[in-house]
Amino acid sequence: MPKQPNILFVLTDQQRWDTIHAAGNPHIRTPVMDRLCREGVNFTKGYTPSPVCVSARASIITGQYPHNNGCFDNGFPQPTDRPSLMDCLARAGYYCHGVGKMHFTGDRRGLRGFHTRDVQEELCGAVDVDDYLKFVHAQGFDHVHDVMGARGEMYYIPQISQLPARLHPTAWVADRSIDFLQNRDASKPFFLWSSFIHPHPPFSPPTPWNKLYRGALMPLPKRPDNTEDLWTHFNRHQNRYKYRDAGLDDRMLQVMRGYYWACVSFIDYSVGRIIDALEKQGELDHTLIVWSSDHGELLGDYNCFGKRSFLDAAARVPMLARYPDRFPCGVAEETPCGSMDLMPTFLGAAGVSEVEADLDGLDMAGMVGSENKRVIYGQIQRGQRGVYMAYNGDLKYIYSAGDQKEYLLDHRVDAEETRNCAYNVLYASAVKAMRENLIGFFQDEGYTEPLDGGNWKAFDRIADPKSADANLLIQDAGWATPHYRIPGYSSTP
């Protein structure tokens, strides 16, 4: 039996698919991702099956769609009654180590099949349970209470990190990953999941990276005519609680994009350091490297911010794979794929043919050069709040239960997704076919919660909150909250 390859899985948080220079973005600088494109495969139509952190990660570690693993959004627990990706690889002889944000629910610090972890999670409850916070405090920076950027009212305000680059959360993930590579048991293949919290907001690159992209040179967001026709109730809700629904400033949006790209470029540089360490060990060509993200970021497109949308800006993600034994060099593969395909791809490379779980995904190595047509599916939330997607590479069909509304995006003539064709009479047969495909898929799967026979179940429309201040969100780190109270000035005791 051939020796099992090592596996390096790079996962970013909230990285759009269009943040790669070699894949068509002329402005951003990403030499490491460009190298992976040259030396591997860029799956150009990679999607998350659920564009929000927890449910996207549930699909990664189970290889299943949300309707099968039961995780539909951040408020749902990830399943523990089936083997995880890490469980399967550990049983196959791999040493599994995780670094950075995993966002496991309901135990943020759980192993979920990892042998060991270096923990770096958002808004953790106490300093002594987060390895990154302990590190920052040990370096004398315990006065920094927003180590990943100031949230709350500042959530979508571009800002400079309060930490130097060497202590930034991105640098720490790279440092801990390299430390693992240098001190691992070389007698075993490894699975290293290097998980970066950025470019998730707050967009807070360290200096000098914050000066890499100057605001006045940044393109403005995509804002087509009738842009609100492409919104769902989630867009209205997110814009409100992210403090982005009371007027927009184009100059700030340009700076925001520059800071977002700076976060991506700093990750690119940091991953380059990890790859350099592999190369020095002579392990590069014996390591499957996959780079992806849990979901994208609207970033002002359609006058919207955040995720929870099946528009490309929020649902389409980078999907890069490098391993010479299984993936050819310099290929751009257009077969639709998704995060549920990552587990089968890793297990395929490891030579694991049987697992104690029903996998919805496919090994992406088998997609390269294949002419087989494929439809992939997606879901956010459920019931009245449910939004569902089917995509075949040409047409994307979306149904939002809380809006009682259909959407059809035709990528053949409108790759930028600027208009909803679902109510155009010339698309009636296409809408019907895509609707029947998605409903039929759920029926075949035995998932009937959103259905009424062969139709969508009728739920009440979700109304906008009446007050302009309703649903604003404050997200402060629990451990730091007491430090915000200033005796004699703060209104709270």
Percent of the chain predicted with pLDDT > 90: 88
**Cα–Cα dist 19/264, whole Å:** 7
Has residue 368 got a pLDDT over 50? Answer: yes
CB-count exposure of residue 182 (10 Å: 0-12, 13-18, 19+): exposed
Please give the pLDDT value at position 492. 59
Tokens of 267: 């990750």
Could you please report the per-residue DSSP string of 302-367? GG--SS---SHHHHB--EEEE-TTTS-SSEEE-S-EEGGGHHHHHHHHHT----SS------GGGG
Q: What mean pLDDT comes out for the span 271-298?
A: 98
Q: Is the peptide bond before 199 cis (omega within 30 degrees of 0)?
A: yes
Question: Domain segments of the chain: what residues?
Answer: 6-371
Angle in degrees, 0-180, between the axes of helices 169-183 and 250-280, rounded to the nearest 10:
10
Please give the pLDDT value at position 162. 97
Q: Which residues contact 436 (CB under 8 A, 6 or more apart)?
A: 454
pLDDT band at 452 (very low <50, low <70, confident <90, very high): very high
The alpha-helical segments, DSSP class H, found in 76-194 are: 85-91, 131-138, 169-183
Q: What mean pLDDT comes out for the span 350-372?
A: 90
Has residue 87 got a pLDDT over 60? Answer: yes
Q: What mean pLDDT comes out for the span 104-108?
A: 81
Q: Are 310 and 27 in contact (CB under 8 A)?
A: no
**Cα–Cα dist 390/397, whole Å:** 5
**Cα–Cα dist 176/37, whole Å:** 25
Q: What mean pLDDT comes out for the span 37-43?
A: 98
Mean of the per-residue pLDDT values for the chain? 95
Most confident of the following: 78-82, 172-176, 484-488: 172-176
| Kind of pairing between the strands at 337-338 and 95-100 | unpaired
Has residue 357 got a pLDDT over 80? Answer: no
Tokens of 229: 């026709």
Nearest 5°: phi and psi at 316? -95, 130
Has residue 60 got a pLDDT over 90? Answer: yes
Q: What mean pLDDT comes out for the span 313-320?
A: 98
Has residue 406 got a pLDDT over 60? Answer: yes
Please give the pLDDT value at position 444. 97
Has residue 184 got a pLDDT over 80? Answer: yes
Residue scoring higher pLDDT (122 or 412):
412
Please give the pLDDT value at position 152. 85
Among residues 260, 264, 265, which one has the least CA distance to residue 203?
260
What digits encode the pLDDT tens for the residues 430-445?
Answer: 999 999 999 999 999 9
What digits encode the pLDDT tens for the residues 213-272?
Answer: 999 999 999 999 999 999 999 999 999 999 999 999 999 999 999 999 999 999 999 999
pLDDT band at 2 (very low <50, low <70, confident <90, very high): low
Please give the pLDDT value at position 324. 97
What are the CA-CA distances from residue 134 to residues 93, 107, 130, 211, 441 (Å)?
31, 19, 6, 29, 47
Topology annotation, domain 6-371: Alkaline Phosphatase, subunit A (3.40.720)
Q: What mean pLDDT comes out for the span 59-75?
A: 97
**Cα–Cα dist 399/389, whole Å:** 7
Please give the pLDDT value at position 1. 46
Tokens of 313: 């800006």
Please give the pLDDT value at position 493. 47
Q: What mean pLDDT comes out for the span 31-59?
A: 98
**Cα–Cα dist 394/413, whole Å:** 9
Q: What mean pLDDT comes out for the span 38-65?
A: 98
Percent of the chain predicted with pLDDT > 70: 99
pLDDT band at 474 (very low <50, low <70, confident <90, very high): confident
Q: What mean pLDDT comes out for the span 104-109?
A: 81
What digits encode the pLDDT tens for the residues 420-433?
Answer: 999 999 999 999 99
pTM over 0.75: yes
Tell me 197's DSSP state.
E
pLDDT band at 42 (very low <50, low <70, confident <90, very high): very high
